Protein backbone atom coordinates (compact mmCIF):
# COMPACT_ATOMS: atom_id res chain seq x y z
CA UNK A 1 0.00 0.00 0.00
CA UNK A 2 1.37 3.40 -1.03
CA UNK A 3 1.06 5.93 1.80
CA UNK A 4 2.84 8.83 0.06
CA UNK A 5 1.09 12.08 0.79
CA UNK A 6 1.40 14.72 -1.92
CA UNK A 7 0.73 18.35 -1.09
CA UNK A 8 0.24 21.33 -3.33
CA UNK A 9 2.70 24.16 -2.63
CA UNK A 10 0.05 26.13 -0.72
CA UNK A 11 -0.75 23.06 1.39
CA UNK A 12 2.97 22.50 2.01
CA UNK A 13 3.27 26.10 3.19
CA UNK A 14 0.41 25.59 5.61
CA UNK A 15 1.85 22.26 6.80
CA UNK A 16 5.27 23.84 7.43
CA UNK A 17 3.72 27.04 8.82
CA UNK A 18 5.56 29.19 6.30
CA UNK A 19 4.47 31.95 3.99
CA UNK A 20 3.43 30.57 0.62
CA UNK A 21 5.81 32.93 -1.24
CA UNK A 22 8.70 31.55 0.81
CA UNK A 23 7.79 28.00 -0.17
CA UNK A 24 7.56 28.94 -3.86
CA UNK A 25 11.00 30.60 -3.62
CA UNK A 26 12.48 27.53 -1.92
CA UNK A 27 11.03 25.30 -4.64
CA UNK A 28 12.35 27.51 -7.45
CA UNK A 29 15.83 27.54 -5.86
CA UNK A 30 15.69 23.73 -5.37
CA UNK A 31 16.19 24.22 -1.63
CA UNK A 32 12.93 22.36 -1.03
CA UNK A 33 12.41 19.26 -3.12
CA UNK A 34 9.32 19.36 -5.32
CA UNK A 35 7.90 18.26 -8.65
CA UNK A 36 6.23 20.62 -11.06
CA UNK A 37 3.17 19.09 -12.71
CA UNK A 38 1.89 21.50 -15.33
CA UNK A 39 1.94 24.88 -13.59
CA UNK A 40 1.55 23.53 -10.05
CA UNK A 41 4.19 22.35 -7.61
CA UNK A 42 3.69 19.11 -5.70
CA UNK A 43 5.67 18.26 -2.58
CA UNK A 44 5.76 15.05 -0.56
CA UNK A 45 5.06 15.47 3.13
CA UNK A 46 8.32 13.65 3.97
CA UNK A 47 10.27 16.18 1.85
CA UNK A 48 8.76 18.98 3.96
CA UNK A 49 9.76 17.14 7.12
CA UNK A 50 13.30 16.58 5.82
CA UNK A 51 13.64 20.26 4.90
CA UNK A 52 12.50 21.35 8.34
CA UNK A 53 14.95 18.94 9.98
CA UNK A 54 17.81 20.19 7.80
CA UNK A 55 18.18 16.88 6.02
CA UNK A 56 18.55 16.31 2.30
CA UNK A 57 16.20 13.91 0.55
Residue 36 near residue 24, CB atoms below 8 Å: no
Cα distance from N-terminal residue to C-terminal residue, the chain: 21
pTM of this prediction exceeds 0.75? yes
Distance CA 37, CA 53 (A): 26
The domain ranges of the chain are 6-53
CA Rg value for the chain: 10
On whether the CB atoms of residues 12 and 23 are closer than 8 A, the answer is yes
DSSP code of residue 32:
S
- Span 4-50, pLDDT tens digits: 789 999 999 999 999 999 999 999 999 999 999 999 999 999 999 99
Amino acid sequence: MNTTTWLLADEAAEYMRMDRDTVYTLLQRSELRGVKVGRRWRVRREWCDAFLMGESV
